[in-house]
């Protein structure tokens, strides 16, 4: 299966990846306003927050592999603060945040490199517990009293980080 690159992709993207062999398309023409450089996260007050990785000037029919990240704004800090405020009260975010933070402290030159690194991190967290993660000995599938999903139902286009922060090691079962 050939899939496009995606920044903090939605759960449906990872469901497709986990269903079989996949290849990330690098030779496609970059499409603006897509999950290639955008993601949606939950706003604790309701609704969604769109995060967008700024890219340099995109020429007509420029290949995705040639898209550079633009660092004129402090977007990494803004994205990290948004992720923390959206998920710090979810049951599992604190177990995973140290795996995500380095991606927001490093300056990647290429969008494809950032997306690949984040996708590899997310796949590792979905498939196993990487060394250093200490999960609670007991956990339950009933999170209705711990999070706001009773007030704001799950939305498929939200980043997988939403589901991972809420369900932890049970995320793969939900997919």
User: How confident is the model over 57-87, as pLDDT tens digits?
Assistant: 998 889 999 999 999 999 999 999 999 999 9
Which of 30, 119, 27 shows the shortest CA–CA distance to 69? Answer: 30
What confidence tens digit (pLDDT) does each residue in 116-148 have? 999 999 999 998 656 544 433 322 333 333 333
In this model, does residue 155 exceed pLDDT 60? no
- Note whether 42 and 162 are within 8 A (CB): yes
Distance between CA atoms of residues 50 and 154, nearest Å: 16
Q: Is the pLDDT of residue 149 over 50?
A: no
Per-residue tokens: 15 = 């469901």
What is the average per-residue pLDDT within 91-106?
Answer: 95
Percent of the chain surpassing pLDDT 70: 83
Alpha-helical regions (H) of 4-155:
11-18, 75-87, 93-100, 111-127
Q: Quick one: tokens of 76?
A: 């990494």
Cα–Cα separations (whole angstroms), residue 20 to 70, 80, 134: 33, 31, 29
Query: Contact, 118 vs 10, CB < 8 A?
Result: no
What's the pLDDT score for residue 19?
85
Share of the chain above pLDDT 90, in %: 59
In DSSP terms, 50 is beta-bridged to: 40
73 class by beta-carbon count within 10 Å (0-12 exposed, 13-18 middle, 19+ buried): exposed
What pLDDT sits at residue 45? 86
């Amino acid at each position: 299966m050939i899939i496009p690159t995606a920044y903090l992709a939605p759960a449906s993207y990872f469901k497709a990846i986990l269903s079989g062999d996949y290849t990330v398309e690098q030779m496609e023409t970059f499409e603006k306003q897509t999950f290639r450089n955008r993601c949606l996260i939950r706003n604790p007050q309701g609704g969604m927050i769109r995060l967008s990785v700024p890219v340099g000037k995109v020429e007509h029919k420029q290949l995705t592999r040639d898209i550079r990240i633009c660092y004129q704004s402090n977007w990494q800090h803004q994205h990290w603060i948004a992720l923390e405020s959206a998920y710090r009260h979810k049951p599992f975010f604190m177990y995973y945040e140290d795996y995500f933070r380095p991606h927001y402290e490093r300056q990647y030159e290429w969008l494809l490199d950032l997306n690949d690194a984040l996708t590899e991190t997310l796949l590792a967290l979905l498939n196993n517990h990487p060394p250093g993660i200490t999960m609670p000995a007991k956990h339950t599938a009933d999170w209705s009293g711990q999070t706001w999903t009773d007030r704001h139902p799950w939305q498929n286009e939200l980043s997988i980080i939403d589901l991972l922060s809420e369900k932890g090691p049970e995320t793969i079962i939900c997919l």
